[in-house]
A and B are shown apart, each in its own frame.
Chain A
Amino acid sequence: MAAIEAIQTTYLEADAASVTFSSLGSYEHLQLRISAKSDRSATYTNDDIKLNLNGDTGSNYSYHRMTGEDSTAGATGAASDTFIKVSSIQSDAGLSGATNYGGLVVDIFDYADDGNKNTTVMGTSGLTEAPIGKNRVTFFMGMWNNTDDVTSIALAPANGDFIRGSEITLYGIND
């Protein structure tokens, strides 16, 4: 068995409010590789993805991120929220060009550990919108305050829909 296997790829032929993976297989860790963009209005230059596990939309998530935006570094987070904020993707602000999508890699650790751990997520992203707007590189983490094994993963832009051409692949990493 290969150490890393592609479980499923979703390529959006039309705009979509969310993408859900519900057949996760049996692995040690999971990884999402995302190339995505949202239809958030032209006021904004980027958007975030809301990540929910097992359909839980309660205030059971925490997250933090550090960002570099152009020449400014900073960090923000939330101790209790209804999703993990996965940062960041491109928005359809009309500044970045029709073919510019944000890139992210998201690791989900020990997602099926027989109820021993809260689920931890860690990832990085990068997007550029030159010549106008903000370039952003992000290192983020999140936690689902629940020890259940993860059985489904839902991803949705924080503001609007995923735009056609967004692509998300879920990988399994074996032990």
Chain B
Amino acid sequence: MAVWTHIAHTAVSLPATTVQFGTHGSAPISQSYDHLYLVMSGRWSSAGSEPHRFSVIYNGNTTSADYSNNYLVATSGTVQADRNEGDNLVAFLTTTDFEDDTFAATSLWIPYYSNTANFKQMVSRSACPNTSSTDNEWGMRMTATLFHENTDAIDEIRLVAGGGANFVANSTFDLYGILGV
């Protein structure tokens, strides 16, 4: 039976450009689980009529060429799919143009994050609701992100709001470790 363990909770009390779990090498995320699961509720501090995309950085590696993704997205009646090399933008945040007090919901799965034999994959789902059905004023995205050509165990996860802005206060982040299947 799988056992879930809550590893860490971060609630942003002041706007924050970055939220980080673990520090690569010196204070790593425990390697004693099989999988990691991250749940977040986030909003971006800047304006934008469309959902804002934030990025994930593993182990402090900011080399964009080490990331790629493939995603399925809808921001209108047309569902689209695309693939990008050098892209670690994984999920949505609502912006200040969205309905007040509305935060995007995101979940991230990182299966077998501690193995050192394989490249790492992450699967995310993100919902960016709004009191609007106008094209691009809402969004839903499912993304597979590959931390490729790197077999290092993941011991640090950094979420970066990007665009010169922040995660707003009351954004929350919970990291869980899952052991067993």
Contact = CB atoms under 8 A, between A and B. Distances in A.
B176 interface: yes
Contacts of A139: 72, 125, 140, 142
Contacts of B174: 28-29, 173, 175
B99 A118 contact: yes
Contacts of B6: 3, 174-175
A87 to B, nearest CB: 12
B133 A79 contact: yes
A175 B170 CA distance: 15
A29 B129 CA distance: 17
Taking each of B3, B74, B129, B172, which has the highest tally of chain A beta carbons within 10 Å of its own beta carbon? B129
Looking at chain B's contact residues, the main secondary structure is strand
Interface in A130-156: 139-143, 145, 147
Interface residues of A, number: 40
A33 interface: no
A140 B129 CA distance: 10
Contacts of A124: 125
Contact of A122 (B127, B170, B176): B127
Contacts, number: 118
Contacts of B130: 62, 79, 143
B138 to A, nearest CB: 5
B153 interface: no
Nearest to A141: B127
B141 to A, nearest CB: 9
Contacts of B129: 62-64, 118, 120, 141-143
Contact of B101 (A2, A109, A116): A116
A121 B25 CA distance: 36
A173 to B, nearest CB: 7
A79 B39 contact: no
Interface residues of B, number: 35
A75 interface: yes
Contacts of A77: 133, 138
A143 B140 contact: no
Interface stretch (B16-24, B76-84, B109-117, B156-164): B76-84
A106 B180 CA distance: 23
Contact of A110 (B77, B78, B103): B103
A116 B132 contact: no
B30 to A, nearest CB: 14
7 contacts: A29-B39, A75-B74, A121-B105, A141-B105, A145-B99, A145-B102, A175-B6
Interface of B: 3-6, 9, 39, 41, 72, 74, 76-79, 99, 101-105, 107, 125, 127-133, 138, 140, 142, 170, 172, 174, 176
Interface of A: 2-4, 28-29, 62-66, 68, 73-80, 107, 109-110, 113, 116-118, 120-122, 124, 139-143, 145, 147, 173-175
